[in-house]
Amino acid sequence: MANKLGRGLAIRAINPNAIYNIINETVDGYESIEWLDGTAPISDADIDTKLAELQAIEDAKPSKQDLKTSAKAKLIAGEALTEDEANTIVL
């Protein structure tokens, strides 16, 4: 699946204190990254690797519809819900 997450998320996952400016970021890429205030540059390869990791985690999460379906089945069967399933129920 294509990456839906921005490069900034990957940068912050690697270095939460990074100060940077991504120049001309689009869905297809970016022009450059400007590292500010002495932030150590992070290589494109490291950013791409982290972005792929984060995207895999995101893709593995069940959809809201899947959680609702699971919650309904468990309620009917009298089983306990997970927190994520319970959060789909609007009271």
pLDDT in tens, 44-69: 999 999 999 999 998 888 888 888 88
Q: Which comes out higher in pLDDT, residue 29 or 46?
A: 46
Task: Using only the alpha carbons of the chain, give its radius of gyration.
Answer: 19
Where exactly are the structural domains of the chain? 7-60, 62-91
Given this model, what pLDDT does residue 44 score?
Answer: 92
Between CA 91 and CA 76 the distance in angstroms is 17
Q: Is the pTM of this model over 0.85?
A: no
CB 75 within 8 A of CB 81: yes
Indicate the pLDDT class of residue 1, thresholds 50, 70 and 90.
very low
